[in-house]
Amino acid sequence: MAEPVISMRDVTIRFGSLVANDKVSLDIEKGEIMALLGENGAGKSTLMKILYGLYMRESGEITVDGKAMPRKFSPSDAIGLGIGMVPQHFMLVDSFSVAENIVLGEEQKASRLLLNKEKIFSMVEPLCKEFGIDVSPRQKVENLPLGVKQKIEILKALFRQTKILILDEPTTVLTPQEVDELFKMLRSLQKKGLTVVIITHKMHEVLAVTDRITVMRHGKHIATFNTADTNTQELARTMVGKDVASVHVEQSDAPLGEPSFVIDRVNTPPSEDRCNLKDFCLKLYPGKVVGVAGIDGNGQTELVEVLTGVRRMHSGSITAGGNTITENTTDSMRRLGIGVIPEDRIEQGLVMEFCVRDNIMMGYKGDPRFERHGIFRMKAVDRYVDELVGKYDVRPARRSAVCRYISGGNQQKVVLARELERPALQAVVASQPVRGLDVGAIQFTHQTLLRLRGEDKSILLVSSDLDEIKSLSDYIAVIRDGRIVAFKKADEFSKDEIGLYMSGAIADEGCAV
Amino acid sequence: MELSTLISSMLRLGTPLLLAALGVLVSAKGGIVNMGMEGNMLFGAFMSVYVTYLTGQPMLGLLASIPAGIIYSLILGAFIIKGRGHQVVCGLGLNFVVIGCTTVLLSVVWNSSGYSTDVPRLPQVKLPFLGQQSISLFITAVLVVAVWFFLEKTNTGLRVRSVGENPAAADSVGVDVVKYQFLAMVIAGALGGLAGAELAVGQMGYFIKQMTASKGFLAYSAVIFAGYNPYAVVLTTMFIGLLDAVQMRAQTMLNIPGQFLLMLPYLVTLLALIFVGDKKKPKAAGKTYVRGSF
């Protein structure tokens, strides 16, 4: 066994009453690629942020290159020891050039006081060449694709003579092809003697690129495997703590019937910093799940906002059940029978300070079952809410629980209960419905969507997780630059092919539906 | 010569505005919406008149406005950067503190509720075509170039700008956000102090209660108009100065109530802001940075 370049012993950190890392011990060997695998909230990012000096540990020891680290140190100290971190959300100054971003904080290497742009460019250029990154150092970062931004982040670390590179969820924003490219780059870095740590919750990827895998759960170190000696089942079991049955759609070969829901050539006004919908067409069918795949920021948010009614379309129409709408207000969309699970339940899904009952009753104004002359019929309301709390297994099972203080999974159940139990529900729009949830809640959400599919509702699933789309959808639509560029049966659409459409490597097929 | 006098008074009215706008610009580049510029100017104006009154030397008064402005700006910075107060609320609040303090000090020093006694003014130069100007016009011209050079051509300037655009990114590469924001506030404070001094000992030769008359806010508008570019700020502040000059002339010539004409520069600024908008604003300006949201 090679000597560990980093050794962490019994590291503990608490946020309030939550023990984020509970006596975690971890050795990272020189020159290996290691994965830190775990669910959301397992404490893997926290552990690495302690190592990078962003959080201060409560107890435990850390040694880097045999040197003991004090309890309090800053990211600059960590950088000085050769530790570099590529954060999940990139830390780039959009209005600066590629080179300025890479050099920022170290400009004195180019010249002591004055900003010597030419020298900075000439310092960064060979670095780009060496790692095969096809981007001009003079270009502004602003409009570069996410895959390139990530490489700039890696270059930033390499420019600082990083020996241990930590990547936090590096693949979530990438297409499958970009993931391959990233892994190729990581392997070439390994050959140059770097140590790499990947924080992730995706098992398939870590099997492809790592030497060892460390699994964390609930803030604890559970096990470390040699990648060669393990498999997905074992990893999944270790990650979750029990066997997990994943939810899958049973595809049927029955031909598509009449669409229940038609989005026809919808346009939204262009805006400076967001992608607008351009002649967007899509049809939904009863009892079918249509998954929308795409790189984040290609119009998914706008699509969901249009279907919710919070973003106006300036042309096009939406038809459902014989009604055609050209002016989408939240009211008119709800009358079409759409239930929306928004991508951000905290910002858009719930009023966090309201209790479960009040959150469920939002959007039911004027419903004669619950209201008479503008006054709530509290008994009927309470009875209804209690029923839903039971049906959706919201815990704690109290209608008066304030949403801010219940877990993310239960918050999502409140959203599901409100949106999916509305009378005359025809279609469900689910946007990133399991983001940030634990395995139990993910399963519940997926099962709920499939239950509705069984009840002949039309379901639109928008997700940046290709695995989720693949396993839940009957049909997959790929969105790029505000329009659907491909629409195929899910089992005839390979991940690689989807990736090529997502990145634009295969050209637009127009209104493909 | 009518045009020459108009340009001459445009320069006189525009210069304090330009200095204040440069201050607002530097703090905005560092991520701070400096709504306290009004108080910054007023404090600089008062201190310059007071020191001139004590020493009889207007140049000393001008110099004194620099530390005065810096102290004011550091207090505002402490509230905003260290105390994480709301930038606009803190700035507006501190303006009122200065209005109150200078009014009290006015009666303590000069035993008057509105005016100080006359003090000597800065040396004035008679220029061909441009009329009589205070020497601070030249200082201002140098400072425009200096501010541009600092922001665009120095490492420190790059860091200040990175903090205003994306403090989390700056922090993650070891740029001390607090330090560079305070640096921006120090520069802004010095420029704002000078702006007040230019108004008081450069032109008037006395201190009047609330003599800055919202020029600190006009300076902010000028910066927005200029798209946060130091050279464009020269044009926008001078344009506002020109409007002011025109309205003064019109007061003597037209039979319109003076109050309406006084509104002119403010009104035009307001209208223009509605139509131009604040598009070039540094991305993090106005936002409080808390480490750990990384």
Does residue B284 lie in a domain region?
no
Looking at the fold, whether A364 and A309 belong to one and the same domain comes out as no
Residue A260, both tokens: 């229940």
Does residue B7 lie in a domain region?
yes
- Judged by a CB distance cut-off of 8 A, whether residue B112 touches chain A is no
The single-letter code of the amino acid at A377 is: R
Res A322: pLDDT: 82
Whether B194 contacts B21, CB under 8 Å: no
Q: Is the sign of the CA dihedral A364, A368, A373, A377 positive or negative?
A: negative
The single-letter code of the amino acid at A513 is: V
pTM of the model: 0.82
Looking at the fold, whether A375 and A273 belong to one and the same domain comes out as no
Q: Average pLDDT of each block of 10 consecutive residues along chain B (294 residues)?
A: 84 95 97 96 97 96 97 97 94 96 94 92 88 90 97 95 94 90 98 97 93 92 92 95 87 78 79 81 89 55
| A93·B169 Cβ contact <8 A | yes
Angle made by CA atoms A31, A37, A39, in degrees to the nearest 5: 160
In this structure, the strands spanning A212-217 and A323-325 are unpaired
Looking at the fold, whether A511 and A435 belong to one and the same domain comes out as yes
- Judged by a CB distance cut-off of 8 A, whether residue B180 touches chain A is no
Does residue B77 lie in a domain region?
yes
pLDDT tens-digit series, residues B208-253: 999 998 899 999 999 998 999 999 999 999 999 998 888 888 877 8
Res A145: pLDDT: 82
Chain B residues with CB-CB distance to A113 below 8 A: 154-156
Q: DSSP states of A214-259 as a string?
A: EEEETTEEEEEEEGGG--HHHHHHHHHSS--PPP------PPP-S-
Res B294: pLDDT: 39
- Residue from B29, B175, B294 to probe the interface with A (highest A Cβ count within 10 Å): B294
| A92·B158 Cβ contact <8 A | no
The alpha carbon of residue B273 is apart from the nearest alpha carbon of chain A, in Å, by 19
The alpha carbon of residue B152 is apart from the nearest alpha carbon of chain A, in Å, by 8
Taking CA–CA distances from A83, the nearest residue in chain B reads B173
CATH of the domain at B100: 1.10.3470
Residues 6+ apart with CB under 8 A from B241: B9, B10, B11, B12, B13, B14, B15, B17
CATH of the domain at A277: 3.40.50.300
Taking CA–CA distances from A94, the nearest residue in chain B reads B165
Looking at the fold, whether A408 and A313 belong to one and the same domain comes out as no
Q: How far apart are the first and last CA of chain B?
A: 62
Does residue A105 lie in a domain region?
no
Taking CA–CA distances from A77, the nearest residue in chain B reads B174
ipTM: 0.84
Looking at the fold, whether A510 and A481 belong to one and the same domain comes out as yes
Longest dimension (CA), chain B: 63
Of B153, B161, B165, the CB nearest to A114: B153
The alpha carbon of residue B280 is apart from the nearest alpha carbon of chain A, in Å, by 10
Query: What does the alpha-carbon distance between residue A135 and residue A465 come to, in Å, rounded to a whole number?
Result: 27
Does residue A161 lie in a domain region?
yes
HSE on the CB side for A307, CA within 13 Å?
Answer: 34
Looking at the fold, whether A360 and A306 belong to one and the same domain comes out as no
Query: What does the alpha-carbon distance between residue B164 and residue A141 come to, in Å, rounded to a whole number?
Result: 16
| B294·A94 Cβ contact <8 A | no
Residue A391, both tokens: 């049906």
Does residue A343 lie in a domain region?
no
**Domain of residue B57, residue span:** 2-276
Looking at the fold, whether A159 and A204 belong to one and the same domain comes out as yes
| A104·B169 Cβ contact <8 A | yes
Query: What does the alpha-carbon distance between residue B102 and residue B89 come to, in Å, rounded to a whole number?
Result: 20
Taking CA–CA distances from B165, the nearest residue in chain A reads A93
Angle made by CA atoms B68, B33, B156, in degrees to the nearest 5: 75
Percent of chain B predicted with pLDDT > 70: 99
Looking at the fold, whether A412 and A436 belong to one and the same domain comes out as no
Q: Is the sign of the CA dihedral A377, A379, A383, A386 positive or negative?
A: positive
Write the DSSP symbol of residue A276: P
Whether A199 contacts A51, CB under 8 Å: no
| B159·A104 Cβ contact <8 A | yes
Query: What does the alpha-carbon distance between residue A470 and residue A314 come to, in Å, rounded to a whole number?
Result: 32
- Residue from B148, B152, B155 to probe the interface with A (highest A Cβ count within 10 Å): B155
Looking at the fold, whether A313 and A442 belong to one and the same domain comes out as yes
Cis peptide before A396 (omega within 30 of 0): yes
Does residue A183 lie in a domain region?
yes
| A93·B175 Cβ contact <8 A | no
Looking at the fold, whether A398 and A439 belong to one and the same domain comes out as no
Does residue A496 lie in a domain region?
yes
Adjacent-strand bridge partners of A15: A18
User: In chain B, how many domains are there?
Assistant: 1
Res B248: pLDDT: 83
Which residue among A366, A401, A423 closes a domain? A423
Chain A residues with CB-CB distance to B159 below 8 A: 104-105, 107
**Domain of residue A232, residue span:** 4-92+141-240
Residue for token pair 């035009």: B268
Whether A12 contacts A58, CB under 8 Å: yes
Whether A249 contacts A453, CB under 8 Å: yes
Q: Which residues of chain A have pLDDT under 70?
A: 1-2, 245, 508-513
Query: What does the alpha-carbon distance between residue A227 and residue A236 come to, in Å, rounded to a whole number?
Result: 14
Of A55, A111, A156, the CB nearest to B173: A156
Res A447: pLDDT: 92
User: In chain A, how many domains are there?
Assistant: 3
Q: DSSP states of A441-461 as a string?
A: HHHHHHHHHHHHHHTT-EEEE
Does residue B283 lie in a domain region?
no
Stretch (H or E) spanning A206: helix A203-209
**H helices present in B111-176, as ranges:** 136-153, 155-165, 167-172
Does residue A116 lie in a domain region?
no
Looking at the fold, whether A283 and A294 belong to one and the same domain comes out as yes
Question: Phi and psi at residue A115, in whole multiples of 5°?
Answer: -80, 110
Does residue A57 lie in a domain region?
yes
Which residue among A188, A214, A240 closes a domain? A240
Does residue A23 lie in a domain region?
yes
Looking at the fold, whether A417 and A444 belong to one and the same domain comes out as no
Does residue B180 lie in a domain region?
yes
- The 3 state secondary structure assigned to A401-434 is CEHHHCCHHHHHHHHHHHHHCCCCCCEEEEECCC
Query: What does the alpha-carbon distance between residue B234 and residue A40 come to, in Å, rounded to a whole number?
Result: 52
Whether A88 contacts A168, CB under 8 Å: yes
Which residue among A240, A272, A303 closes a domain? A240
